[in-house]
Amino acid sequence: MSGVLEFAHSLNQTALLRQARVVNVVEGANVVVELAGTTHLVACQVLHTGTPGLTLAEGEAVLVWLQDEIGSAGVLLGRTGPYTGATEPVVTPVEFAARPQTLVLEAQGDVVIRNGHAKLTLGAQGDVEVVCTSYTTRSQRLLRLLAPLIKLN
């Protein structure tokens, strides 16, 4: 599509707007979705609206615009679901700005942070242990795991 008018005409074709479910999210790549009511998978680019950090997870309902009727490619327009209001800040912006830039926790032994069934241990010898039932990363950048040995089950 070379012109804006051609693009507007394509958006007007409602058959090209479909509901879908996120199947695979890979940072820096297309998002793979499954069209509702089918088993057809489509690799979609994500529409950037100017607001930072649209985070997607597998299984979420989304709205996609398909490039053509056969669904060879598409653009993920956004998540769909019930309306949720804007999140309220925990503190006022002035109070938040007055906080220090860095929080330092120091101990001669290990530093342990626990919450329910989750535990993060920072060992005195430089080892890090994460105990949890589910481990999820959401970031704008590449996740790097650098260590002599990493075991993921």
If you average pLDDT over residues 83-87, what whole number do you get?
73
How do strand 74-79 and strand 41-46 relate by DSSP bridges?
parallel
Determine, yes or no, domain membership for 117: yes
If you average pLDDT over residues 67-81, what whole number do you get?
86
Q: What percent of the chain has pLDDT over 90?
A: 28
Residue with token string 């999210």: 25
* 62: pLDDT strictly greater than 80: yes
The half-sphere exposure of 109 on its side-chain side, counting CA atoms within 13 A, is 1
Judge if 35 and 101 occupy the same domain.
no
Taking the whole predicted model, whether its pTM rises above 0.75 is answered as no
Residue numbers of the domain that contains 24: 4-79
Judge if 30 and 60 occupy the same domain.
yes
If you average pLDDT over residues 59-78, what whole number do you get?
89
Judge if 26 and 69 occupy the same domain.
yes
If you average pLDDT over residues 26-33, what whole number do you get?
86
Judge if 75 and 98 occupy the same domain.
no
Judge if 12 and 66 occupy the same domain.
yes
Name the pLDDT band for 138 (thresholds 50, 70, 90).
Answer: low
First to last CA, the chain: 45
* 77: pLDDT strictly greater than 80: yes
Of 56 and 62, the one with more pLDDT: 62
Tell me the CA distances in angstroms from 140 to 27, 74, 81, 129, 137, one per residue in order.
Answer: 8, 21, 23, 24, 10
Q: How many domains, the chain?
A: 2
Determine, yes or no, domain membership for 153: no
pLDDT on residue 108: 93
Of 60 and 51, the one with more pLDDT: 60
The Cα–Cα gap between 41 and 36 comes to: 10
pLDDT on residue 1: 43
